[in-house]
Amino acid sequence: MDLSLGFPEFSQELAISTKPSLDLVVARFQALHKEPNSPVRAIHHQPAADGVYADIPANVDPRLKKALEKRGIQRLYVHQADAFHETSAGKNVVVVTPTASGKTLCYNLPVFDLLLRDPGVRAMYLFPTKALAEDQLH
């Protein structure tokens, strides 16, 4: 696993380390943050929280449900199930959650479900990459 996050000098440090670890990565970024003109602008600590789950909606295509279960997904986060219910009802949805919270499934689940039900359907994905870059900078 590449823990350098695009910092070439950090990549070299990790290469010579006997055992790169998350603790080493965090310590390096904390040190970088203290340097003048550092590319690391902020470090935020957020305590862990338990997930809130919901069953996979009954109206998800059975083939898709089986594929999810085969990948170890037995249930969804509540916001994923809610997004599926709303899009299934023809509503527009905006999902605003932290990184790595399951947003990808919020938009892919309804698309995959519809594609399985109607192979003639098409989807277009638009991503605001500039907004994403600005969000990640801050």
Please tell me whether residues 60 and 100 are part of one structural domain.
Answer: yes
Residues 59 and 12 in one domain: no
How many residues comprise the chain? 138
SS3 content of the chain, % helix, strand, coil (to 5): 50, 5, 50
Domain membership of residue 81 (yes or no) is: yes
Overall domain count for the chain: 2
In this structure, is residue 136 part of a structural domain?
no
How high is the mean pLDDT of the chain? 85
Q: What's the domain range around 32? A: 1-46
Structure tokens at 72: 């170890």
Q: Convert the pLDDT of each residue in 97-109 to its tens digit.
A: 887 889 999 999 9
pTM of the model: 0.64
Residue 26 lies in a domain: yes
Residues 105 and 62 in one domain: yes
